[in-house]
A and B are shown apart, each in its own frame.
Chain A
């Protein structure tokens, strides 16, 4: 009540200032009259009475001022007037304003852009009900399928038991850990297959999240049972928009995937795009349809076929620690039940040692975790750039305040206190920073889109929501504010205490120049030091990138094109018809002119891998700390296509048919680790550690090591099999080595594929070299952006040096004139000025070296074949810095050298 009254009265005096002033005047006037009347009754004349009252009760103007500034509205009023004045002052010096605002926009924009990516990838909560209650069982690191006991992936039977028996979750749901990206289906009424991302989820998925459909219905618990009986689909809002133009008639249409028709029953809400940030499912299908959607890779009824993530909502009042304890007791009980009455020793040990941590799923799972460290480092980098920008503007403001001393002196002389002057100057800084912030926000919205497109794998940008939200706007506003305080406070403090007598003397006296330049010099030196640190960082990241691109891959990525296909969508089964399709495709394409080799395979490079332990016939493999072998299923032409040389033995040949004895080609590292001493040719091993299978494959050849997952991996044991002999999955990859024009080859490959099966969708995935480049996208992003910001920092520091030295030369024109008049050679004047610039650069360097060494140690984990204290990088960075700084100092020095003593002295 009194708050409203206060507000009302304050607003009234703010907006109806005239009336409020009049009333106060009248009231005080009345007061004065009454007091004077009394005095006059005691015999004074009016004049004397008024004077006496003033003496006793204080001056009326003073009283008015006290009352007026007592309310809160006076603060707003002054602030507004300060703002208007600040705007006028900035308009009066457009050059200064433009430079300052642009510098700030660049600095704030860079910070906002990087932060918006960090925000979207790592900080934003999922758009679901109470995201903080959501937990993921385990760490979520890893996807695919495993067998046994682990803390990442779980079997469907395990999920069912857990959902039934747990006491801590209000609802539990499961999803396939792998999104079926690039699956092909045919929408009712359309003639052709089209690619779509399919996600399999349990019936409880949407209700657990609390995501409402905008149209139709979502899945329910009833869609989990019985298996294979729920051919329905929920589609995403964005796919509904793209594919159906938001036509409500999409409900009820069918999508054919393989031989099964799925009826669309609902559309999810617009803000929801799955629980994995950076992935965007188009279609959700009940998990109970796993066998139909993925005929070659499934196992809902297998207790140990672990391929699911389990996500759950905590019961109200249950803490994560309580839930974790309960779930682990339960999980061990379930695993023991699964293992049966006699548990093998190794499994018993696995169960005893297992511990499932509960991870918060409030922000969802993220495919972008790989970018988390680079983004954090870039965040520090752009913050430093902003700091350097602040130092520049602080210097500009200092130079400006030296020129404004007279104005400030006048303000002080007419009664403005130091606090008032300080507030006025800080308001100007705030205005500058806010202008920079607004411009920076625009700059950032462009830049973050550009960075996102850069790190996205395909032509489509990663589905990441980088639209500004409240957090982002608050961030930008906050850094603008902090920026203003950083660059505005010291110059404003310095101008607060103006020596009136000095300021009113005309001419260019040496007022406070000493103090100012000492302070400015400190700013410049720290700018140089910081930009040196940034340059070193950029150098290290660039070297890492170069080292990565030069690392020996073991395959030749030049002149290889990648395609993908999805025969399962055409109803192929895992039988000889599929093998026939693959072989025909290989033969037809190989017959095309310009094609040198081709092969179907499970994977090529950086596409995830099939890795298991192996058993060796007649030996116990001791592979040390690397107990997994990376497997690949390939065609006979794979090694020729990838350019992997054969060392000993033979390649796969026509004699190796689907039904003949199973053979394998292994790499050097596998030969060394698993078959030490003697030739591995003719030896036998089996996939998985079960000794019963140890005789499955005979080694027929050894090839050179290659990189499988990433360029910076250590050599891994690897084994290759013929796809016809390990036809347990559909194989989607098809690669072609060619010579000549790739565009012609792509067309040829497509038409050859169509001649094998006209309905086979063959999708061009780009060149193998692009695949390799993408695998270092995160390093490339770090290197290029830090190089850009490093140069920006040096550039800003150079501008700072240039500005300070030009100012110094202008101030010292007199002195230089006298020196020249007394006979100092011009070259000495030149060196006198340039020496200052060199001094800045070398002091900055000396300070920067230890900081760079310390900072280098922090990022050493991100470096590849480079040490944080790399002398070559240091040398290059120092050279770049000195050259740019000396160039910045050269111009003012030359100006000093050309000072005409007569002109200089006459001017004074």
Chain B
């Protein structure tokens, strides 16, 4: 079994957070769970890396955070994708697709 805490590919966590938030605004734990679900359990980001990524994205102006009440009447900080974040996500997705295809071609050539 792969070590789940070994996290995601270097540098891609930001992109995954952006992708998650592109669907709907979410709090930190929600992001974490969603990434885990969508990757079918392959990625389970650790709290430190996740919140560091969130702080970084927020400072870059790609996401905005706001304190809101949760469905269970608690308070949590919800994050929403900004316009700039949406642009970044689409450019990064394109770039990722290009690179992944290239890597796949290299690995398949024998």
Contacts and interface: CB of A to CB of B under 8 A. Distances in A.
A27 B32 CA distance: 13
Interface in B30-86: 32, 44, 46-49, 51-52, 55-56, 58-61, 72, 74-77, 84
B51 A57 contact: no
A30 B47 contact: no
B61 A63 contact: no
A743 interface: no
Contacts of B74: 30, 33
B76 A27 contact: yes
Nearest to A71: B55
B19 interface: no
Contact of B61 (A2, A28, A33): A2
Contact of B48 (A23, A35, A63): A63
Interface of B is mostly: helix
Contacts of A66: 48-49, 51-52
A410 interface: no
A71 B54 CA distance: 12
Nearest to B84: A2
Contacts of B32: 31, 35, 57
A57 B51 CA distance: 12
Contacts of B29: 30-31, 34-35
B28 interface: yes
A58 B48 contact: yes
B61 A70 contact: no
Contacts of A10: 59
Nearest to B74: A30
A62 B59 contact: no
Contacts of A35: 29, 32
Most B-side CB within 10 Å, residue of A2, A9, A24, A64: A2
A1 interface: yes
A6 interface: yes
Contact of A26 (B55, B72, B75): B75
B91 interface: no
A5 interface: yes
A5 B44 contact: no
A546 interface: no
A37 B49 CA distance: 22
Given A27-B76, A31-B28, A71 B49 contact: no
A28 B27 contact: no
Interface residues of B, number: 25
Contact of B60 (A2, A34, A64, A65): A2
B10 interface: no
A163 interface: no
A648 interface: no
A1 B76 CA distance: 26
A131 B55 CA distance: 49
Interface string B66-110: 000000101111000000100000000000000000000000000
Contact of A57 (B46, B55, B77): B46
B60 A57 contact: no
Contacts of A31: 27-29, 32, 47, 51
A460 interface: no
A30 B68 CA distance: 12
Given A1-B61, A27-B77, A58 B51 contact: no
B55 to A, nearest CB: 6
A70 B13 CA distance: 15
A57 B58 CA distance: 22
Interface string A32-57: 01110100000000000000000011
B44 A56 contact: yes
A27 B59 contact: no
Contacts of A37: 72
Contacts of B47: 28, 31, 57-58, 60, 63
A30 B52 CA distance: 16
Contacts of B4: 56
Contacts of A60: 47
Given A27-B77, A31-B29, A56-B44, A67 B52 contact: yes
A681 B101 CA distance: 106
A30 B61 contact: no
A60 B51 CA distance: 11
A689 B64 CA distance: 91
A27 B47 CA distance: 11
Contacts of B76: 27, 30, 34
Contacts of A57: 32, 44, 46-47
Contacts of A58: 5, 46-48
Contacts of B51: 24, 27-28, 31, 63, 66-67
A24 B60 CA distance: 18
Contacts of B55: 9, 67, 70-71
Contacts of A64: 48
B48 A62 contact: yes
B84 to A, nearest CB: 8
A508 B81 CA distance: 63
A71 B59 contact: yes
A23 B48 CA distance: 15
A56 to B, nearest CB: 7
B94 to A, nearest CB: 21
A307 B77 CA distance: 83
B5 A6 contact: no
Most A-side CB within 10 Å, residue of B28, B47, B55, B60: B47
Contact of A30 (B46, B75, B84): B75
B60 A63 contact: no
Contacts of A34: 27, 29, 76
Contact of A70 (B52, B75, B84): B52
A9 B58 contact: yes
Contacts of A67: 48, 51-52, 55
A6 B61 CA distance: 8
A185 to B, nearest CB: 70
A58 B59 CA distance: 24
A27 B28 contact: yes
A24 B52 CA distance: 11
A111 B83 CA distance: 55
A188 B27 CA distance: 87
Given A30-B29, A57-B47, A5 B61 contact: yes
Interface in A78-135: none
Contacts of A2: 59-61, 84
A70 B60 CA distance: 13
B60 to A, nearest CB: 5
B46 A63 contact: yes
Nearest to B30: A34
A62 B76 CA distance: 20
Nearest to A35: B29
B26 to A, nearest CB: 11
A600 to B, nearest CB: 83
Interface string A712-742: 0000000000000000000000000000000
Nearest to A61: B48
Contacts of A62: 48
A13 to B, nearest CB: 9
B54 to A, nearest CB: 8
B81 to A, nearest CB: 15
A166 B37 CA distance: 81
A57 to B, nearest CB: 5
A9 B59 CA distance: 7
B82 to A, nearest CB: 10
Interface of A: 1-2, 5-6, 9-10, 23-24, 26-28, 30-31, 33-35, 37, 56-58, 60, 62-67, 70-71
17 contacts: A2-B61, A5-B60, A5-B61, A10-B59, A23-B77, A27-B77, A28-B51, A31-B27, A31-B28, A34-B76, A35-B32, A56-B4, A56-B5, A64-B48, A67-B52, A67-B55, A70-B52
Closest 3 interchain pairs by CB?
Answer: A66-B48, A63-B48, A63-B47
Given A64-B48, A65-B48, A66-B51, 8 more contacts: A9-B58, A30-B75, A37-B72, A56-B4, A57-B32, A66-B52, A67-B48, A71-B59
